[in-house]
Amino acid sequence: MMENEFCEKKIKVEAQPERIDFIDNIKKEKEKTLYHCNICGKSFSRKDSLTTHKDIHTGEKPHHCDVCGKSFSAIGSLNTHKRIHTGEKPYLCNICGKSFSQIGHLITHKRIHTGEKPYHCDICGKSFSEKGVLKKHKHIHTGDKPYLCDICGKSFSQQGILTKHKRTHTGEKPYHCDICGKSFSASGNLIKHKHIHIRDKPYHCDVCDKSFSQRHSLTAHICIHTGKKPFDSDIHGKLFNETSHLSKHKSLQTAEKPYDCDICGKSFSLSSNLTTHKHIHTGEKPHPCDICGKTFSQSGNLVIHKRMHTGEKPYPCDICGKSFPLSVNLTTHKRIHTGHEPYHCDICGKSFSANGNLIKHKHIHIGDKPYHCDICDKSFSQRHSLTAHICIHTGKKPFNSDIHGKLFNETSHLSKHKSLQTAEKPYHCDICGKSFSQSGNLTTHKHIHTGEKPYPCDICGKSFSQSGNLVIHKRMHTGEKPYPCDICGKSFSLRGNLTTHKRIHSGEKPYHCDTCGKSFSANGNLITHKHIHIGERETIPL
């Protein structure tokens, strides 16, 4: 028995080196059977893996999707793609339960929970959860803009930004508001727009309790109370209204500027900027407009100019949806919503939302009136004031409707009139017979007959038949005056009041007394005046 045990142990001991040799032989055999790609040198343990890999180099895509026809070089890629059609999402997040069609997407998603950011920028040290995001980020440092617009030639660092940009050319607005139907070119603009409908204003001013739907609108509004701009540059104390402007300013101040203009000495961080700058000195204008032939020294100025021809307005207001051809026009416009008036008159202290309005206002103090009437020699500080004044002499309104000869003081009023006259009006009121171009207008009109007032004021409880009347009424409570005079800066709660007020500056008096011929700037003043004649007739002795 002892001998047998010894023999067994002896066999085991002797078997071990044979086993090791066997494993080594397998490893060697595997090394011998590696399959190498003769194009890039990559190795594979299986021949079919090498065959699939080689499709990358040849461009061959033998695996076709039977749903949409898209082709793939690997069967695995096809199987993953098919989940788009089937909706299959087999990879489940064990933290939040969200599902994914690809395991890679799940791995990336889980970093939201773990906070892991394994991809580091070797230039600035910033970390990212996705390799692709790091790659895009590096374009900031390298200045690389590999995505080119094939319409205008402008370059972008990211594909997504190019896609958004191209919508300015195509006019595509794929994001639709499901409440009012308004369309937007960017999803972010739609989200901001929806605040108008849901009246979500989570940002409150602690000083006056006014609320805003956007944080930056509140920040800009606070300037009214503090009297200063909120964003302070720590480089040399310059102030800015928006953080984006501050960031841009800082990068300009800190950037190295090795390219110097040999004419005026100005320095630039990029050689291309120096080249463009030199056009100022040489007078060279190498960028011609292919529509009207006008030339420009900078390509950017040409792009802006062409918007006059195309009517393109790529800068929409995220509060009211109105669009503008220039970003600076949008910035100025948004001050109507925020109440921000950064331009102050150093003579009387009055404030304005636009520098141009301040310049016009200063004509009042300095007495500058460059626009002269050739008939009576009266002078005006604004061209449009002169145009309106000339109507007094000619006896007619300057803008003539070609539909039935009706005259208007302003082109905007003429355009509105034309659209009302030419529009089809298929919706008829069954009570009074009046017709409307839109069913919504008919519904609103019927409130006159029914006495229905579905729009109540949430402050005092007064009700109105039209939502527009409620908006106007609420200005009594809020003190809002959204219509400023561009000559003296005075603001009004109603557009009609502004129109009447501006006649003080223009001298226009369109309301004439048919008894004595006296003229007035407001219809109400004419009615009051006519009482004089009525009283005269009443006191005439028989």
Question: Among the listed ranges 22-26, 115-119, 215-219, 251-255, which one has the minimum average pLDDT value?
Answer: 251-255
* Structure-block tokens of residue 528: 């009051």
What is the Cα–Cα distance from 287 to 275, expressed in whole angstroms? Answer: 13
Banded model confidence at residue 400, pLDDT cuts 50, 70, 90: very low
* Structure-block tokens of residue 131: 């390799």
Residue 118: per-residue pLDDT: 92
pTM as predicted: 0.30
Closest to 305 (Cα-Cα) out of 285, 325, 323? 325
Same fold flag, 43-145 and 160-245+253-349? yes
Phi-psi region of 49 (alpha: psi -120 to 50; beta: other; left: phi over 0): alpha
pLDDT more than 70, % of the chain = 76
Residue 420: per-residue pLDDT: 52
What is the Cα–Cα distance from 475 to 454, expressed in whole angstroms? Answer: 19
Q: How far is C-alpha 138 from the geometric centre of its chain's CA atoms? A: 25
Residue 359 near residue 368 (C-beta atoms within 8 A) = no
pLDDT by residue (tens digit) across 418-470?
555 555 677 888 888 888 777 778 888 887 788 788 888 888 888 887 778 88
How far, CA to CA in Å, does 65 sit from each of 74, 88, 101, 331, 427?
Answer: 12, 15, 16, 49, 51
Q: In sequence order, which ranges of 409-494 are alpha helices (DSSP H)? A: 411-422, 439-450, 467-478
Helix, strand, coil percentages (3-state) for the chain, rounded to 5, are 45, 15, 40
**For residues 4 and 463, which has the higher predicted lDDT (pLDDT)?**
463
Banded model confidence at residue 52, pLDDT cuts 50, 70, 90: confident
Question: Per-residue pLDDT averaged across 377-385, rounded?
Answer: 73
**Spans of all domains in the chain:** 43-145, 160-245+253-349
Question: Per-residue pLDDT averaged across 4-9, rounded?
Answer: 44
pLDDT by residue (tens digit) across 186-223?
887 787 777 666 656 667 777 776 777 667 777 777 77
* Structure-block tokens of residue 473: 């009424």
pLDDT by residue (tens digit) across 18-47?
555 655 655 555 555 688 888 888 888 888
CATH of 160-245+253-349, one of 1.25.40.340, 3.30.160.60, 3.10.180.10, 3.30.70.580: 3.30.160.60
* Structure-block tokens of residue 65: 């999707």
CATH number of 43-145: 3.30.160.60
Average pLDDT, the chain: 76
